[in-house]
Chains A and B, each alone.
Chain A
C-alpha cells in the first residue's frame, strides 16, 4: 500500500524525505571576535593580578575559578560556535565536560583532598 510518505514529492523528489538542515548557522563577524578576544585578555590579566594580590585562600580560589569558567564558556560559546550551533552539539559536549567534572570531583572527595 502506498502511503503519503512513500510517494515521491513531484517537485523536490527524494530530497523531500531528507531531514532539513538543522538551521542556518550564524557566524559572528571579525569585529565581534575581536571584542570577545579583548574580554578574554582582560579576564586573563585579572587572573594574573589576583595571583599576585594579597587576596588568598578560598576567596582567591573561588575568584580564579569563576574567571576561568567565564573564559572557558566564552571560548566554547563564541570561538567554537556552540552558542549559535545546534543544541545537540552543546548537549554532547556538556555530557563529556560535566561528566568528567562530576567524576573527578567525586574522586577528589573520596581521596579527601579538601579535608587535608
Chain B
C-alpha cells in the first residue's frame, strides 16, 4: 500500500481560481443536506406518534444495523484509497479499490433490502403507521442514493478499463468520492437519530 503524501493541483482557469465542477458538486451536496434534513425532521416529528405497532423497539436489531454501519464506514476508507491510487496513476489499484467500494456498498444495500423484508414480515409496511411511513421513506431515499453511488463507481471502473477517462483521472474519482462520503455522513446521522436514540413510549 502506498504511503506517500500527495501535493496535487487540479488546474482549471476560472474567475474564482477554483474548479467549477467541484464547486457545483459542493453546492449539490449542500442542497442534499436540505433534502435529508427534511426527511429526518419528518421522522423526528412523528417519533412515538404511531397509534398502532409495530414500534421501532419491536423491529430494530441494533447489532445488525451496526454491522451495516461498519460496512459503509469501510467503504469510505476504500474510496479514499481509490483516490490515492488515481493520484499515483496506478490505475489497476484504483479499479480494485473502486470495485471494492462498490461491493461494500452493494453489501450495505443488500442488508437494507433484507432488513426491509424482515420488517415487512413482522407487519411493518410503509402504510402501517407513521413510524413505517417516515422510516421507509428516509432510509429508502438513503438506499437509493447508495445505489446511485454504486452505479457511478462501476461506471468509473468500466470507463477506466476501456481507457475512456481523461488524463486527469483523479478528478472524476474525487467527485464520485465526494458523493460517496456524503452518503456515508448521512448514514452516520440516520444511524444515531433513527436507530440509537430510543423512541419515547406512549
A31, A71, A101, A116 — which one has the most chain B CB atoms within 10 A of its CB? A71
Residues 10-42 (chain B) with a chain A CB within 8 angstroms: 10-18, 22-23, 26-27, 29-34, 36-38, 40-41
| CB neighbours of B22 from chain A (8 A) | 89
Nearest-Cβ distance from residue B70 to partner chain A, whole angstroms? 7
A104 and B185: CB pair below 8 A?
no
- Complex Cα distance, B31 from A111, in Å, reads 24
- Complex Cα distance, B62 from A25, in Å, reads 39
| CB neighbours of A103 from chain B (8 A) | 34, 37
Number of interface residues of B (CB under 8 A): 67
Among B29, B45, B48, point to the contact of A93 (Cβ < 8 A). B29
- Complex Cα distance, B75 from A37, in Å, reads 10
Nearest-Cβ distance from residue A58 to partner chain B, whole angstroms? 11
Nearest-Cβ distance from residue B186 to partner chain A, whole angstroms? 9
A29, A60, A99 — which one has the most chain B CB atoms within 10 A of its CB? A29
- Seed contacts A25-B9, A25-B10, A68-B188; 6 additional CB < 8 Å A-B pairs: A18-B13, A25-B7, A27-B84, A68-B193, A97-B33, A108-B45
**Would you list 20 pairs from A and B whose C-beta atoms are within 8 A, ordered by A residue?**
A30-B3, A48-B66, A48-B196, A51-B195, A51-B196, A52-B62, A56-B198, A60-B197, A65-B192, A67-B192, A71-B185, A93-B26, A93-B29, A93-B30, A96-B27, A96-B34, A100-B33, A100-B36, A100-B37, A104-B41
